[in-house]
Every structure is written in C-alpha cells, then in structure tokens.
Amino acid sequence: MKHGGEIYSQELKNKIKQDFSVNINPYPCPGSVYTALKDSFDHIAEYPDAGQTAFRESVAERISNSINADNIVGGNGASELFSAIVSAIKPQRALLLAPSFYGYTHALLREPDCKVTTYPLREYNDFKLAEDFLDAITPDTDIIFLANPNNPTGQSVDPALMLRIVKRTNDLGATLVVDECFLNLSSKGESVKDLVNEFKNLFVVDAYTKLFSIPGVRVGLCISCKENIDRLKTVLPEWNMSVFAQNVGVACAKELAHSDFKKKSVEIIERERAFLINSLLELFPEKVTIYPSDTNFILIRSDLDLYEICLSQGILIRDCSNFEGLGKGYYRIAIKSHEDNKHLITAISHQ
C-alpha cells in the first residue's frame, strides 16, 4: 500500500466496512458543495473553462489581498501539481523528509537522473522538524518538498523555522514546494501562501480533497508568483480540471471565505483526536506509543499487529512499514466521527 484508501485490490475488496487509512475531514461536507456537484451535470456537454477563471478568482478571494488569480492554477488534485512542478523545474538534486508522503517521490520519477537526499526526522523528537534541517539545504539542492503538517507524522512546522527555510532556499536558488493539504485541518502551523510574490522560489500546493471529503472529485491548487504559474501552465494538460472539479472548487472556496466550516472542522478533529488517543492508551497502556499530531490522523508504534487486528474486523488502517524512516510496527489511523471512532475502539478491544 503506497497510499491510504487503496481498497480496490482483490485482497481487500468486499472486506472493508470502515476505512481509517484515508485522512479525510470527519466534519460533514457542506450542502453547497454537493449542490455544485449536482448542478455540474447540466454542463457535461460543455468543455470546462481552460482558464479556470471562476475557480482561480474564488480561491484568490478567500486567501488574502496579496494574492490574485494570476498567482493560482488548479489541478487534478495535488498530485498532478507536484508532477507539473517537477516537469517545469527539471531538478537534478532533491531533498525530502523521511518519513513523508510518497507522492513527492513519485513526482520526482519524471526526472530519473534526479538524486534524492532524505533528511531523517527523529523519533526521540516526536518526528518534529528540527533547525538542523537548514543545514541539509545546500547550494547543490534544486528542489525541496516539505509538508506542513507532515504526513504520516502529523507534525506542523514551527512558523519561525518555516520562514527561515523559505529564506534559505531563496538565497540558495532552490525551489521550495510546501504542501499545505492538511493545514486547514490543523490546530497549529501557519500558511506561507502570502509569501509567494516576495520569494520567487516558493510554490504552495493545497487541495480541497481531504478538507471537504471529496477525494473522488480531485480539486488541487498551486499558488506561486505569476511567472511560476505561467511556467506550470505550459506543462499541465489543457482542461486538466473538469466542470465538476471547477464548480465544486468554487463552492469550497466560498465556504472557506464566508462560513465557519474550517473552524468547526478543527474543533471536531481536536476533540475526536483526544478521544481516540486516550481510548487507545487506555486499551493498550503498555503496548502502543502515540506521537503528537496537529491534524486529522495519528501515528502509532506498537508490537501488536494492529493492521491485521483491525482488518479482521473489517477496518482498514495504514500500515506504515513501507515509509522510509519508519518500518514494521508503525501505523497511521485517521480521525473520524465519534461513532466511527467508538466502533474502532470496540472492534479492536475484542481481540
């Protein structure tokens, strides 16, 4: 398993009743988003807007006055945008965290001669990014992928350290890609979207996939200076966002700009994360280690085979043994609704 939500294999098909391997928002998606999706059926005989005009303007409106539509391009999820950045930059030396999201490695496969260096996050520091990461950014570094918060560890980057990273990469002429796909689901961390016009090396990738629980629609966005966005457009396919994705993206941006959806989402995540952590520690007081998380999933280490225990009950969690920097005994569990979380605890308590 390279990602959560891979429920289509013969091994798992028809076995999974609940999926805790994919990290989507436990707070319900607003009705306006579903309405936009349904309304899109009336336009399936039309080509989508290749310029993504309404989508880009809506995203810009909800971010800040320093960002406009020229700073934004949409994508078929964040993954397409990671690959497009690599295609535009053509890096020869990349720097990644370990452990971190496999999608960055996948994107870098577009440049098979690119040498990848990893910076190891330390377990004794709860996998939190430390200041010596700055020393890992060298004059030879062409591109850095940095998730805030990181996946699968759930830790946000200290805002002061993030600013120093942005400045150092800019001074050295390296491209910095900050993945903020989980930031709106986080109780900590700060966005660097406002810095893209000041630091021309900076790309910020975000998505509405997990925030609005719509992974099947694929709504990603990249924010950078106009020159960078223009470069990305040359390597992205025409009409890379469907009518459905663009209309849903507009509805999502409006919800973020004009409702308390994000606030309520973070509130339920914090409450349910505490419930799940406390319940697991009570159930297995000496058999699990749970690392601090700022977002909607937790990383666990255990001598118990939690993957098989959960699978026997029709529950899928993320076995993290194939993440560089982790190994056997590490698992990632999504934060879901209270009823779902109670069901998980009840199910595994019977083992």
As to burial, measured by CB atoms within 10 angstroms (0-12 exposed, 13-18 middle, 19+ buried), residue 234 is exposed
Query: Hey, what CATH class is 31-258 in?
Result: alpha beta
For residue 351, what pLDDT is reported?
65
Read off the tokens for 148: 């805030």
For residue 2, what pLDDT is reported?
58
Helix (H, G, I), strand (E, B) or coil at 193: helix
pLDDT tens by residue, 186-241: 988 899 999 999 999 999 999 999 999 999 999 999 999 999 999 999 999 999 99
105 pLDDT higher than 70: yes
List, by residue range, all CATH 3.40.640.10 domains of the chain.
Answer: 31-258
Distance of CA 83 to the CA centre of its chain: 15
Q: Report residue 161's pLDDT band, with 50, 70 and 90 as the boundaries.
A: very high
Amino acid at 286: E
Read off the tokens for 278: 């406390």
Fold of the 18-28+261-349 domain: Aspartate Aminotransferase, domain 1 (3.90.1150)
Q: What is the mean pLDDT of the chain?
A: 94
Helix (H, G, I), strand (E, B) or coil at 265: helix
Peptide bond into 237 cis (omega under 30): no
Query: CB of 177 within 8 A of CB of 151?
Result: no
What single-letter DSSP state applies at residue 142? Answer: -
Positive or negative, the Cα torsion across 56, 59, 63, 64? positive
List, by residue range, all CATH 3.90.1150.10 domains of the chain.
Answer: 18-28+261-349
- Beta-bridge partners for 179: 147, 205
pLDDT tens by residue, 307-336: 999 999 999 999 999 999 999 999 999 999
Q: Report residue 66's pLDDT band, with 50, 70 and 90 as the boundaries.
A: confident
7 pLDDT higher than 80: no
Read off the tokens for 253: 């941006």
